[in-house]
Chains A and B, each alone.
Chain A
Amino acid sequence: MLVNPFKLAQMGILGMNERNIRYISRYNQRKLFPLVDNKLETKKLLENSDIHVPELLATIEHQSQINNLHGLIPKSGGFVIKPAKGSGGKGILVVQHNNAPTFFKPNGTELQVEQLQHHCSNILAGLYSLGGKLDTAIIERLINFDQLFSDYSFEGVPDIRIIIFKGYPVMAMMRLSTEASDGKANLHQGAVGVGLDISTGRALNAVQFGKPISHHPDTQQQLAELKVPNWQEMLVLAAKCYEKTGLGYLGADIVLDVERGPLLLELNARPGLSIQIANGCGLKPRLKLIEKQSEVRTAEQRVLFSQAEFSNFS
């Protein structure tokens, strides 16, 4: 049932308590948290930079705007309604097909404007925000994700989570939604996590519900063949978020848009620990190595350093 804690420590697995004390509270200043906890702030921060984000269509700040919702949502094309201060993928409503006034979720569920309005009013009231604070709803253009990955995902956008420590990419995984996860890319809801080799972007191994798997449970695609194109470019994009935000311990969620290339979906100041299970190794040795680096490096140099040091195929 339980595993020997000394073996875990020997493998360098990072635990929740240690993550909170040693890394998050030490390297992430409290005052910087709003930059990533509020997606609008993140977008503002990355405006006019070379880090691209999904196109913002509208923001809803007041209840009165909800009555005019049909004027704010795009006339055509899929879109996403999400809370600006949401966490853990809560409150994200994806509209795949826009057939106004009828809308369809990725799983084919039909939605009317009233349901979208209800969702927006829930967001504004703070149902999904941390601590139940009043929130803003944002409407983004749906990402037209690269068909390269379509066989690896069920009804959802596969995204790539990269942990950035002091600007160095330390670990990465791809999160594939499944039927069990209801199209969401959260591992604890049943999404598949595929560990990615930092030096090449190739799949290392995959897990679902903490158990190793070799094929996607819904599409039966072999997961070992997965390889992320433009891997280095993606790592550099993620590494640059360090300078932008000033947060030392950061999770960057990136999606690959077919037209616009890698887009930064959101940043997370408290990235989860499941990435270790997906990669089959612990974070601690890598974090300790980065802590020892005193040389000032550019984002590109840091990526090269990480690629050289953190290869699983060495």
Chain B
Amino acid sequence: MQYARWPFYTLIGILFLTGLIMSVYRHITYQVPFLPGETLTTWSIEARVEFTADNGPVKVKLTRPYNQQGFARLAESSASSGYGVAYLDDDNVLEWTIRQAQGEQTLFYRVDFLDDQMQNDLVTEAAHIQPTSLAEPYLTAAEQIHQQLLAISADSISYAQQLFKLLTAEENTQQNLALLRDAESNQAKLAVTLLNHAGIAASIIHAVKLEDGRRRQALIPLIKVWDKQNSSAIFNPSSGKRGKPQDMLLWQQNDQPMLEVMGGYDSNVSFSIIRHQESIASAIKAQQNVQQSLVNFSIHSLPLEEQALFKTILLLPVGALMVCILRILVGLRTSGTFMPVLIALAFIQTSLLTGLVGFTLIVFTGLLLRSYLSHLNLLLVARISAVIISVIAIITLFSLLSYQIGLSEGLKVTFFPMIILSWTIERMSVLWEEEGAKEVVIQGGGSLLTAVIAYLAMTNEFIRHLTFNFLGVQLILLAAILALGNYTGYRLFELARFKSLVEKYAGKSI
């Protein structure tokens, strides 16, 4: 019954070498780097315009952002059923028009910006100085502040700097300022009024704060100040800091209104932001692969949607390898052999901490419900189906609760594979009845630990880069798993398990 082992080792060797040669060939011929290298960051920002139409013709004008310091505009698009769309480049405005509309309307405008430090600001023309018409006693108050600031500044910009310093001072003892605030409580508007009063061109501009995955964001007002030479500076009225904040994209850079709706009312605009990160190499390769050849065996020849799918599928062998290592070399016990890999996949969607908390909460609540179900004397299939429905109910409940509290993170629990979770709950519940809570903690902890390790491996930038760009790596992984399947040495946990044996009987044989 004994088979020769050498064909097996030869197979492992061939797989390993083929994988290596394929990868090296791809590296040399197509210059795909082995290291992930530089990544490009792009931001997709979506403006959502909502208003109620008056049952007549509607014209909506939305200001569009353009190239600015640190950001280059890549592409823009809009979604609006039935509306005519015009991109007016002169005023940087997007115009939606329709002959007849009624009821609540929602229009979308989406723009992609590349994070590009080489990009410089375009020179914008100074805003007109609005004639200020301050009545007494405000005029005197403004005049006193003006005199005070004039004394400690050299030009328009430094004047503005001192003004913002005054406006944002923590303990404001200025009576004049307090008086002016009574008339104009909006800090930004007050600042522009005071600047205009001093004969300095200034206007309120609006920016979007770039944070990945945010929804329903409002615009943040900033103030742009011009000096006589038409050079400008941006101030943040709430902090008084000079210069454009790095994490903000200027949406509207001059005086014109952000949103104009004719033929509608209750208009409102909000923003959603998503960040994409891509390696330069993959962007270049995507272009290269337009001219396909059979030899260049690459995922990049597939359409974009399938590529995204394969990005995940090709990571599964990495997770499987982790499970093999932890079970064969370490001896960790998990509930369900590859359940941890599926949990790790869910963690990729939810982020680690949210995933861990969500998973623990769902399984724990599920176990409580399951302990009630076990009193009902149900048949197994019906019971598991009941557990599945309970899991869905738990997930729905958590999503609703966390959304109400304002935790958008909580919504991500829907990424968990529900059938797998139900089986996990069922198995753990039986384990609890059969072997006690200790075994549940051991196996549950083992599963979670395996899932976390698999997650860390699968989210590693280097590993992602290798698996996606080099199909040969899959063969190397297969060779590694086959080699592991042939390991007859001790497991790490066995070294602890047989410890007492060695201590007591070392030196004795048979």
A, B from the same assembly: yes
Q: Flag if B495 contacts A2 (CB, 8 Å).
A: yes
Q: Flag if A2 contacts B491 (CB, 8 Å).
A: no
CB contact list, B452-496 vs A, under 8 A: 486-492, 494-496
- The 8 A CB mask of A262-305 against B (1 = contact, 0 = none) is 00000000000000110011100110000000000000000000
- The 8 A CB mask of A10-35 against B (1 = contact, 0 = none) is 11110111100110001100000000
- The 8 A CB mask of A196-227 against B (1 = contact, 0 = none) is 00000000000100111000000000000000
Q: Flag if A11 contacts B506 (CB, 8 Å).
A: yes
With contacts A122-B380, A127-B380 taken as known, whether A16 is within 8 angstroms of B502 at the C-beta atoms is no
Q: Flag if A277 contacts B501 (CB, 8 Å).
A: yes
Q: Flag if A189 contacts B510 (CB, 8 Å).
A: no
B residues near A56, Cβ cutoff 8 Å: none
Q: Chain A residue with minimal CB distance to B377?
A: A118
Q: Chain B residue with minimal CB distance to A123?
A: B380
B residues near A149, Cβ cutoff 8 Å: none
Q: Flag if A63 contacts B1 (CB, 8 Å).
A: no
With contacts A17-B488, A122-B380 taken as known, whether A7 is within 8 angstroms of B502 at the C-beta atoms is yes
Q: Flag if B331 contacts A16 (CB, 8 Å).
A: yes
B135 contacts the other chain (CB 8 A): no
* Number of A residues with CB within 8 Å of any CB on chain B: 44
Q: Flag if A26 contacts B498 (CB, 8 Å).
A: no
Of the residues B501, B504, B509, contact of A285 by C-beta under 8 Å: B509
Q: Flag if A117 contacts B377 (CB, 8 Å).
A: yes
Band of interface residues on B: 20 to 34
With contacts A277-B501, A280-B505 taken as known, whether A3 is within 8 angstroms of B495 at the C-beta atoms is yes
Q: Flag if B505 contacts A5 (CB, 8 Å).
A: no
- The 8 A CB mask of B105-138 against A (1 = contact, 0 = none) is 0000000000000000000000000000000000
Q: Flag if B491 contacts A285 (CB, 8 Å).
A: no
Complex CA gap A21/B1 in Å reads 13
With contacts A118-B377, A127-B380 taken as known, whether A276 is within 8 angstroms of B498 at the C-beta atoms is yes
Complex CA gap A276/B379 in Å reads 40
Query: Most B CB atoms within 10 A — which of A4, A5, A126, A211?
Result: A5
Q: Flag if B498 contacts A277 (CB, 8 Å).
A: yes
Q: Flag if A17 contacts B489 (CB, 8 Å).
A: yes
CB contact list, A158-210 vs B, under 8 A: 189, 207, 210
A121 contacts the other chain (CB 8 A): yes
Complex CA gap A280/B381 in Å reads 45
Q: Flag if B500 contacts A5 (CB, 8 Å).
A: no
Q: Flag if A12 contacts B509 (CB, 8 Å).
A: yes
CB contact list, B285-328 vs A, under 8 A: 328
B residues near A189, Cβ cutoff 8 Å: 435
Of the residues B377, B435, B491, B509, contact of A16 by C-beta under 8 Å: B491
A125 contacts the other chain (CB 8 A): yes
CB contact list, A76-101 vs B, under 8 A: 90-91
B430 contacts the other chain (CB 8 A): yes
With contacts A3-B495, A281-B508 taken as known, whether A15 is within 8 angstroms of B1 at the C-beta atoms is no
Complex CA gap A281/B502 in Å reads 9
Q: Flag if A126 contacts B380 (CB, 8 Å).
A: yes
Q: Flag if A210 contacts B497 (CB, 8 Å).
A: yes
B2 contacts the other chain (CB 8 A): yes
B residues near A310, Cβ cutoff 8 Å: 510
A residues near B510, Cβ cutoff 8 Å: 12, 281, 285-286, 310
Of the residues B328, B498, B508, contact of A3 by C-beta under 8 Å: B498
B90 contacts the other chain (CB 8 A): no
Complex CA gap A107/B299 in Å reads 63
Complex CA gap A282/B494 in Å reads 13
Of the residues A15, A114, A121, A125, contact of B494 by C-beta under 8 Å: A15
Q: Flag if A125 contacts B495 (CB, 8 Å).
A: no
Complex CA gap A21/B381 in Å reads 35
With contacts A17-B488, A285-B510 taken as known, whether A125 is within 8 angstroms of B496 at the C-beta atoms is no
Q: Flag if B498 contacts A21 (CB, 8 Å).
A: no
B171 contacts the other chain (CB 8 A): no
Q: Flag if A63 contacts B502 (CB, 8 Å).
A: no
A residues near B495, Cβ cutoff 8 Å: 2-5, 8
A residues near B377, Cβ cutoff 8 Å: 114, 117-118, 121
B434 contacts the other chain (CB 8 A): yes
A residues near B502, Cβ cutoff 8 Å: 3-4, 7-8, 11, 13
Complex CA gap A125/B2 in Å reads 38
Query: Most A CB atoms within 10 A — which of B487, B488, B490?
Result: B490
Q: Flag if A212 contacts B509 (CB, 8 Å).
A: no
Query: Most B CB atoms within 10 A — which of A18, A121, A277?
Result: A277
Q: How far is the CB of A223 from chain B (nearest CB, A)?
A: 15
Of the residues B1, B491, B501, B503, contact of A26 by C-beta under 8 Å: B1
Q: Flag if B2 contacts A7 (CB, 8 Å).
A: no
Complex CA gap A63/B492 in Å reads 44
Complex CA gap A13/B508 in Å reads 12
B residues near A11, Cβ cutoff 8 Å: 501-502, 505-506, 508-509
B residues near A15, Cβ cutoff 8 Å: 488-491, 494
Complex CA gap A8/B503 in Å reads 10
Complex CA gap A207/B503 in Å reads 14
Complex CA gap A232/B236 in Å reads 94
B residues near A125, Cβ cutoff 8 Å: 379-381
A residues near B379, Cβ cutoff 8 Å: 63, 121, 125
Q: How far is the CB of B463 from chain A (nearest CB, A)?
A: 26
Q: Chain A residue with minimal CB distance to B499?
A: A3
B residues near A12, Cβ cutoff 8 Å: 509-510
A residues near B501, Cβ cutoff 8 Å: 11, 13, 276-277, 280
Complex CA gap A24/B367 in Å reads 36
Complex CA gap A117/B376 in Å reads 12
Complex CA gap A162/B492 in Å reads 27
Of the residues B434, B489, B504, B508, contact of A90 by C-beta under 8 Å: B434
Q: How far is the CB of A246 from chain B (nearest CB, A)?
A: 11
CB contact list, A94-141 vs B, under 8 A: 114, 117-118, 121-122, 125-127
Q: Chain B residue with minimal CB distance to A29?
A: B1
Complex CA gap A18/B489 in Å reads 6
Q: Chain A residue with minimal CB distance to B492?
A: A2
- The 8 A CB mask of A21-54 against B (1 = contact, 0 = none) is 1100011000000000000000000000000000
Of the residues B430, B488, B503, B508, contact of A21 by C-beta under 8 Å: B488
With contacts A5-B489, A7-B502 taken as known, whether A16 is within 8 angstroms of B508 at the C-beta atoms is no
Complex CA gap A11/B503 in Å reads 11
Can you list 23 A-B pairs, Cβ within 8 angstroms, ordered by A?
A: A1-B499, A3-B496, A8-B490, A8-B494, A8-B495, A9-B490, A11-B501, A11-B502, A15-B488, A16-B491, A21-B486, A21-B488, A27-B1, A118-B377, A121-B380, A122-B380, A125-B380, A127-B380, A210-B497, A276-B501, A280-B501, A281-B505, A286-B510
The 7 closest A-B pairs by CB, nearest first: A125-B380, A18-B488, A15-B490, A2-B495, A3-B499, A118-B377, A280-B505
By a beta-carbon cutoff of 8 Å, the part of chain A in contact with chain B is: 1-5, 7-13, 15-18, 21-22, 26-27, 63, 90-91, 114, 117-118, 121-122, 125-127, 189, 207, 210-212, 276-277, 280-282, 285-286, 310
By a beta-carbon cutoff of 8 Å, the part of chain B in contact with chain A is: 1-2, 328, 331, 377, 379-381, 430, 434-435, 486-492, 494-506, 508-510
Q: Beyond A15-B490, A280-B505, list 11 extra A-B contacts (CB 8 Å).
A: A4-B502, A8-B490, A15-B494, A21-B486, A26-B1, A27-B1, A91-B434, A277-B497, A277-B500, A281-B508, A285-B509
